[in-house]
Structure 1
Amino acid sequence: MLIWFVVFIAAMISSSKSRDQDYMVAITGVTGLDDLASATGDEPSLSPVFNLTVRIDNSGNTLHRACVYGLSTAVVSYGDAFLGKGSVPPFCAEKEEVQERAATAWGQGVVVPQFLRERLAGEMKRGEAAVDVQVTSESTDRVLVCSEVKIGGDHAPCRREEVYRRSAPAADGSTASA
């Protein structure tokens, strides 16, 4: 009887273990970067459009749902150069569930320095191009930072970072609250 009790308690402890959700992003397609190498001039502008997928893998979480809340924005950059921005629809993954949503980020008249254009053009020719994506939400104090998301590749993992919001400046320019 004692052995059965120990086995029962061990099973309860292991079944109650829950891992955190994983957030991931994939770039499923891109247009507007075809002319990177042929662009001329010191700083020609680009108008890229990125199709992306945001995924929440909550399959190992037995305790809580995980969400990307409303008013979320995805920003795509390459080597610290802004490439595009777009909205991410709100969605949740319930306990032990995986969910994903498609979104589009775009830029118009984006200026990318020549050395970055040349580097990105070479990476695209080799099928190695990767960008960075950040997903932020107005309603939370977290940002998803997804580094080196390969264009046309699998979902890349994101890390969650805390954002410490500053108070809006008062009429006199100070940020002290009354």
Structure 2
Amino acid sequence: MAMADQLGKSVELDQMIIDHALNAIKNQNLTAQYFGINVSAASAHDDKFMIWLERRLIKEGDFAQRLVFEISELGLQQDITASKRFISMLHRCGSRLTVERFGVGLTSFKFFREIKPDYIKMDASYTRGLEDDKNNQYFMRLMVDLAHRIGVRVFAEGVESLEEKQIIEQLCLDGAQGYFIEKPKELL
């Protein structure tokens, strides 16, 4: 991804990945499941990419509702106006948005309220050692309460132990992702 960014090829790479993923999902008849697809900020802020993706999602019809696009918090902050347009387009097409690596940027509550993602994934740095860090637990609980009040579901990234999973459940997060839950699998 970093090389694609350096070469100005992020948009083409994201289009190729999305096409490949959607074709694989349809060919394997997995259209009843939900899928998360990472998108670079460069693509999300590119008008041509947004038009291409909107057409692709409209073509997919009901299946578009089973797609959750993931963009990093820092990426969304690079161009808030373009980010809002991208999120609005996803919602019009029935897709959803996850802000991943949430909590590592300098996000203000105003930004969080304005973009109103469907989901946030708390960065793994908040999960590591969670069972021993009462301050971090308190912060996570506050974020969960705030997010739930505005209709946003909260997930934890980087869950790698039973203890972390149990604390996350006690803090009322909506879900978890990490090697303890399941290792990544190939779609093909």
TM-score under structure 2 length normalisation: 0.21
Q: Which has the higher contact order (CA 8 A, sep 6+)?
A: 1
Larger CA Rg, structure 1 vs 2:
1
Between structures 1 and 2, the one with greater strand share: 1
Greater helix content? 2
